[in-house]
Structure 1
Amino acid sequence: MVDVGTLSLVATGALLLFALAVGIRVLAGIFRDGRERSRKRREGEIDRYTEDPVYDRDPPDPDADGAAPATCPQCGAENASEFAYCRECAAPLGPNP
């Protein structure tokens, strides 16, 4: 009769081997993609520094909603309108933060 410890050890080993096989396939794909991109850059098919639309955007304006920036009553620092506490001294900015 097979005990539970041996069965769990075999199942764990099989799962680890499966995860290793999947990981190797993913890493091989990443490596192939990198080599292909390097080849395309060398041959001039793609620019060396391409723009990324996600990271090259301007950051959103925190005061775009038209609200005036909040001034701290304690230290006088300018804070974005959605802040509840001062960014300089951590004092509450409104009557009910």
Structure 2
Amino acid sequence: MVDVGTVYLVATGALLLVALGVGARALVAIFREGRERSRRRREGEIERYTEDPVYDRDPADPETDGAGPSTCPQCGAENAAEFVYCRECASPLGPNG
């Protein structure tokens, strides 16, 4: 007769192997996509930093309390008024920076 504990261990082991296989395939796909994007950046097919439409808002947008974007003193990138650090180079945006 088969012990219930043995069946449980075999079923759990099989499920873990399936999960490991699926996880490994996902990680390989992520790795390949990253390598492809790096290659495309090196060859100039895509820009290093692409603009994000979430942060390219209208200065009169009520979401930003009517304040316009602030310009980074380090790299010149425009940032939303509520940002404390630059979204491109991470340098401080305030008067102390």
* Same fold flag (TM > 0.5): yes
Aligned to 1:49: 49
Larger radius of gyration: 1
Name stretches of at least 5 consecutive residues in structure 2 with no aligned partner: 67-97
Percent same amino acid among aligned pairs? 71
Q: CA deviation at 1:52?
A: 2.4
Aligned to 1:89: none
Q: Structure 1 length normalisation: TM-score?
A: 0.57
Name stretches of at least 5 consecutive residues in structure 1 with no aligned partner: 65-97
Aligned mates of 1:16, 1:36 — CA distance in 2: 30
Kindly report the root-mean-square deviation, in angstroms, between the aligned alpha carbons of the 2 structures. 2.3
How does 1:6-85 map onto structure 2 within 5 Å? 6-54=6-54, 56-58=55-57, 61=63
Give the total of aligned pairs.
63
SS of residue paired to 1:61: helix
Runs of 4 or more, structure 1, over 3 Å off, are 57-60
